[in-house]
A = this chain, B = another copy of it.
Amino acid sequence: MNSQTAPLSKKSMIPKGLLVAIGGKEDKENDLQILSTVMSLVNKEKKKIEIITTASQHPKEVGSDYYRIFTKDPNHTVGLLHISTREQAADVSFLERISEADVIFFTGGDQLRITSILGGSPIEGEILRRYREEFCIIAGTSAGASAMSKTMINGGDSREALRKGTISVSSGIGLVDNAIIDTHFVERGRFSRLMQTVSMNPRNTGIGLGEDSGIVIEEGCILKAIGGGITVILDGQNLKYTNVANINSDESIAIENLVIHTIVDGYGYDLCRKRYLKPDDLRRMHLGESEENTNENN
C-alpha cells in the first residue's frame, strides 16, 4: 500500500482490504483476465476463497461456474456460501469461513437479494470489519458489484430514465462510500439512469462498469481499470444546476454540467480527489513519486 494514495480523511479510516467490482459477463472460458487478476491480488500460494451466491435464485448453477474456475489451481481451498435466509446470514460456521477467507466473491443475480438477506447481519458486519481492518479481497460481479456502494441502484429502465421517479435506489452494503456502481453499463446503455442518480446527489460519483471489465479499488480511493471493456466515471462535483427538486413525478430532468470520463485497462481514477489517472500517473504513484508523497518514504 502506498502512503501517497491515502484518502483525505484520517489514516486510520483507510481500509486495509481491496475491492474488485466487475461489470458482469467476465470471461469464464478463455484467458480469464479478470478472475485471474482477482486471484493474483493475494500474494499467497494457498488461497482460501469463499463464493457467496446470495444474489442468485439459482445459487448452485451460478456457484458451480466459479467453483470450477477457482479450483483449477489445486492449491486453492474454495467454499460455496449459499446464504439465502436471514438465519443463514447469522450462522456461526459461515461466519468463521468469512473470517478466514483471502477472497470473498459475490456472484451476480439481484442486488436486492444481497441487501435484504445480508443487510445488518453478522455476516455483513464481518465482511465490513475485515475490509476495514485486514488485508483481504472482496470481489463482486454484476449484482455483487452494484451492492458494494452505499447508495445502490436496484431497478429502473434506462430507456425511461431522466424522468423523475423512474429509477429505484436503496442502500447497498456500503463498502464504497460516495459512489454509485452500475454494471452491464455500456452494453445496456445505462448512462441515463446513472446521470439521473448522480444528479440527485452529486456527492456520489457514478461508476458504470462495462461487461468483462472491472475496477480494483485500493485504500477506498484509487480505482484501477482491468479487463477488456470500458468503465465510465460520472463526476457530479461541478454540477451547476438541476430542476429535479422542482418538477413532478415522471417529468423530464434538466441537468447542467456533469463531467464524464472513460477508463480502460491500465488507466484509473482517484475517487477521493476526483482525478483522472493515466498509466503514467499510476506508475508514478507506485514508485512513490506523487506530489503528496515528499520525504516520508525516503
Which positions in A face B, CB cutoff 8 Å?
158-159, 161-163, 186-192, 195, 210, 213, 228-230, 240-241, 243, 251-265, 267, 276, 278
Contacts and interface: CB of A to CB of B under 8 A. Distances in A.
A255 B259 contact: no
Contacts of A191: 189, 191-192
A231 to B, nearest CB: 9
B253 A230 contact: yes
A162 B189 contact: no
A111 to B, nearest CB: 20
Contacts of A210: 162
A230 B260 CA distance: 18
Given A159-B187, A189-B191, A276-B240, A254 B258 contact: no
Contacts of A258: 259-261
Nearest to A252: B264
List 10 A-B pairs, minimum CB-CB distance, nearest first.
A189-B189, A191-B191, A252-B264, A256-B276, A255-B262, A159-B187, A162-B230, A254-B264, A258-B260, A230-B252
Contact of A192 (B186, B243, B257, B259): B186
A190 B188 CA distance: 10
Given A158-B189, A189-B192, A191-B192, A252 B265 contact: yes
Counting chain B CB atoms within 10 Å of each CB, the highest count among A186, A253, A263 belongs to A186
12 contacts: A158-B189, A159-B189, A162-B210, A188-B189, A192-B230, A213-B252, A254-B278, A255-B260, A255-B261, A256-B276, A258-B261, A260-B260
